[in-house]
């Protein structure tokens, strides 16, 4: 498809974003604005010099900068502004449903109360619901480079906000921090009624994906790039209809893949895996949902039928109820049918 047409088609697709770290949507301009009003000085003297630092050879190099950026978030208003900026942006890209991760420990461990973080995020999500008719789920992620005790404390802090939180996730430095480290807290989280997701097979080996499925009992795998290394695992993922939330621009920027043409998502679709496209940390990786779709489609020469399948898969893999899924999927089908006329 010719670039202008492809962009137009992608813009019009009703989309669901299932893999987005709200702290990763922190655009440098807003970071400077919030740093200034909180009297915090950043290690960079301008937006341009900060952006120049966004060159990563692996996940850890990115996380080191990402955690520094998040330190300027102090007040409820800061979390609100961050979340609202993201929601406004993706509303403009025809994203109609979002499932947003937040990392409580990134904030509570430096003295910002859990309440402050969640209230700001929640207020923005509710505003998007009423102003944009957007639906949402909120996912609290445990930081896997920290210990399980810290995750248990986070679970406890979330108890007064159980009605606002839909599930838990597992993120941060993957290598050396297998899902099995969080076995007990995931079990306890499920007992509280939370749905479960875990980053697995982004940089880590296929064993981590097996652990996320067999030990943590996750409902969804974040990334899962490495699953194609193991045909038996692929069959299990297909049988379970397990969602895999892939993030192509993130994979490229973090050198999980060397070039976009190497991205496994097309092979995954061809095998019948429930693979989907998302943005991960759009402020750091050069693009939101539309840009992720576009760069992937261009490099892999995706056809309309692939774009349609990706959009349907995202609603299928979402935590919406079955009636909501059906409704959104029928809108996606109507949209693609309308393109043929
Ligand atoms: N936290 C934010 N982005 C992440 C990623 N891509 N992998 C693991 N943890 C993260
Ligand atoms: Zn992620």
Q: Tell me the two tokens of residue 310.
A: 């990706």
Q: How far is the CA of 308 from the centre of ligand 2 (A)?
A: 23
pLDDT tens, residue by residue, 247-271 = 999 999 999 999 999 999 999 999 9
* Residue 27 pLDDT > 70: yes
Q: Which atom of ligand 1 is nearest to the CA of 202?
A: 7
Q: Which atom of ligand 1 is nearest to the CA of 23?
A: 2
pLDDT tens, residue by residue, 137-170 = 999 999 999 999 999 999 999 999 999 999 999 9
Pocket test for ligand 1, best of 25, 59, 140, 146 (most atoms within 8 A of CB): 59
Among all bound ligands, the one having the nearest atom to the CA of 251 is: 1
Q: How far is the CA of 43 from the centre of ligand 2 (A)?
A: 25
* Residue 117 pLDDT > 90: yes
pLDDT of residue 34: 98
Average pLDDT, the chain: 97
Among all bound ligands, the one having the nearest atom to the CA of 144 is: 1
pLDDT of residue 268: 98
Helices (H), ranges, the chain: 3-12, 28-37, 47-52, 59-70, 76-91, 104-108, 114-132, 148-158, 183-191, 206-214, 231-239, 248-253, 265-271, 282-285, 289-300, 304-316, 322-339
6's CB contacts (< 8 A; 6+ apart) are 294, 297, 298
Which residues are known catalytic residues?
202
Q: How far is the CA of 191 from the centre of ligand 2 (A)?
A: 24
Q: Which atom of ligand 1 is nearest to the CA of 281?
A: 3
pLDDT of residue 156: 98
Atom 1, ligand 1: which residue's CA is nearest? 172
In what helix (H) or strand (E) does residue 17 lie, and over which residues does it extend? strand 15-21
* Residue 85 pLDDT > 90: yes
* Residue 237 pLDDT > 80: yes
Q: Mind giving me the DSSP string for 142-177?
A: EETTS-HHHHHHHHHHHGGGTTT--EEEEES--TT-
pLDDT of residue 163: 98
Q: Which domains, ranges and CATH numbers included, belong to the chain?
A: 3-338 (3.20.20.140)
pLDDT of residue 193: 98
Atom 8, ligand 1: which residue's CA is nearest? 172
Arithmetic mean of pLDDT, 90-106: 98
Q: How far is the CA of 340 from the centre of ligand 2 (A)?
A: 35
pLDDT of residue 239: 98
pLDDT of residue 340: 75
* Pocket (CB within 6 angstroms of ligand 1): 21, 24, 59, 66, 171-172, 199, 202, 250, 280-281
Q: In whole angstroms, what is the distance from residue 159 CA to residue 96 CA?
A: 28
CA atoms within 13 A on the CB side of 189: 32
Atom 10, ligand 1: which residue's CA is nearest? 172
Among all bound ligands, the one having the nearest atom to the CA of 63 is: 1
Whats the size of the chain, residue-wise? Answer: 341
Atom 9, ligand 1: which residue's CA is nearest? 172
pLDDT tens, residue by residue, 190-230 = 999 999 999 999 999 999 999 999 999 999 999 999 999 99
pLDDT of residue 254: 98
* Residue 341 pLDDT > 90: no
Q: How far is the CA of 268 from the centre of ligand 2 (A)?
A: 19
Q: For the whole prediction, is pTM greater than 0.75?
A: yes
């Amino acid at each position: 498809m010719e670039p202008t047409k492809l962009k137009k088609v992608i813009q019009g697709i009703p989309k669901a974003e299932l893999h987005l770290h709200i702290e990763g949507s922190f655009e440098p301009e807003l970071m400077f604005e919030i740093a200034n009003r909180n009297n915090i000085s950043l290690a960079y003297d301008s937006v341009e010099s900060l952006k120049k630092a966004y060159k990563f050879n692996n996940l850890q190099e990115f996380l080191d900068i990402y955690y520094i950026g998040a330190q300027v978030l102090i007040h409820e208003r800061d979390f609100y502004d961050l979340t609202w900026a993201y929601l406004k942006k993706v509303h403009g890209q025809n994203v109609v449903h979002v499932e947003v991760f937040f990392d409580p420990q990134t904030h509570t461990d430096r003295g910002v109360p859990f309440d402050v973080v969640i209230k700001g995020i929640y207020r923005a999500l509710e505003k998007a619901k009423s102003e944009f008719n957007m639906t949402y789920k909120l996912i609290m992620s445990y930081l896997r480079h920290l210990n399980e005790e810290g995750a248990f404390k986070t679970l406890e802090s979330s108890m007064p906000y159980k009605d606002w939180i839909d599930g838990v996730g597992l993120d941060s430095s993957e290598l050396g921090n297998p899902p099995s480290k969080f076995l007990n807290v995931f079990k306890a989280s499920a007992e509280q009624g939370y749905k479960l997701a875990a980053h697995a097979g982004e940089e880590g080996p296929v064993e981590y994906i097996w652990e996320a499925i067999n030990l943590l009992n996750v409902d969804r795998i974040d990334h899962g790039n490495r699953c194609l290394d193991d045909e038996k695992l692929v069959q299990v993922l297909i049988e379970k209809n397990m969602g895999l939330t892939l993030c192509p621009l993130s994979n490229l920027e973090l050198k999980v893949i060397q070039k976009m043409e190497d991205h496994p998502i097309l092979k995954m679709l061809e095998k019948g895996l429930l693979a989907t496209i998302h943005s991960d940390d759009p402020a750091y990786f050069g693009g939101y949902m539309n840009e992720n779709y576009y760069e992937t489609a261009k490099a892999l020469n995706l056809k309309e039928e692939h774009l349609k399948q990706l959009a349907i898969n995202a609603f299928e893999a979402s935590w919406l109820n079955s009636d909501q899924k059906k409704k959104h999927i029928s809108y996606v089908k109507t949209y693609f049918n309308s393109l043929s006329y």
